[in-house]
């Protein structure tokens, strides 16, 4: 019991130091790769679907133009290398033992305002796929207190960390 009383303050001190270390890491990372706030909206607008905001560093920003698919939280795992030609990137992937093909065509200024037309579908059937167009617009700096990966949900509320949107676009 006496050992636990002596160890508890050390554990608490280490936890505080770990939190401070995490904050220092995020500050250094933000200085090297400043996160930017992007608006993401589905085009054309759909009833009940509002634009979301995402705080993205260069890695997440690169994922905005990459074809990706997921179903029920399961990502489609890439098979081989993606192929890019004439502004269209195509990638085969495996989702739950089935081969899918994903694609993304990007138009516009990747640094400010662009549109990504995405599609995904299983190779074995015409059912189960989707096609969506998203518009990405740079808003500016991420709000104070936001970290890379933070976003808003459909109610405009801040969601910390990896949202469903980021799971689809981040690699």
pLDDT in tens, the chain (171 residues): 555 555 655 455 556 566 566 566 556 665 668 999 999 999 998 898 999 999 999 999 988 888 777 877 788 999 999 999 988 999 999 998 999 999 999 999 999 999 999 999 999 887 778 899 999 999 999 999 999 999 999 899 999 976 555 444 444
How crowded is residue 150: how many other Cβ atoms within 10 Å of its Cβ? 22
SS3 call for 119: strand
> What residue spans define the domains of the chain?
1-32, 35-169
Q: What is the pTM of this model?
A: 0.73
Element (H, E) at 117: strand 113-122
Buried b / exposed e along 84-123 (16+ C-beta atoms within 10 A): eeeeebebbbebeeeebbbbbbbeeeeeeebebbbbbbbe
């Amino acid at each position: 019991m006496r050992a636990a009383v002596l160890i508890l303050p050390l554990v608490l001190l280490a936890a505080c130091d770990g939190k401070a270390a995490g904050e220092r890491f995020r500050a250094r990372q933000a200085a090297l790769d400043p996160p930017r706030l992007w608006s993401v909206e589905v085009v054309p607008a759909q009833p009940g679907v509002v634009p979301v905001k995402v705080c993205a560093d260069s890695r997440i920003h690169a994922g905005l133009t990459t074809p990706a698919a997921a179903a029920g939280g399961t990502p489609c795992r890439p098979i081989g290398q993606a192929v890019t030609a004439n502004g269209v990137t195509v990638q085969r992937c495996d989702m739950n033992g089935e081969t899918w093909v994903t694609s993304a065509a990007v138009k516009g200024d990747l640094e400010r305002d662009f549109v990504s037309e995405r599609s995904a579908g299983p190779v074995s059937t015409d059912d189960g796929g989707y096609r969506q167009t998203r518009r990405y617009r740079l808003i500016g700096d991420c709000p104070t207190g936001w970290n890379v990966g933070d976003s808003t949900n459909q109610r405009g509320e801040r969601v910390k960390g990896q949202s469903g949107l980021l799971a689809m676009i981040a690699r």
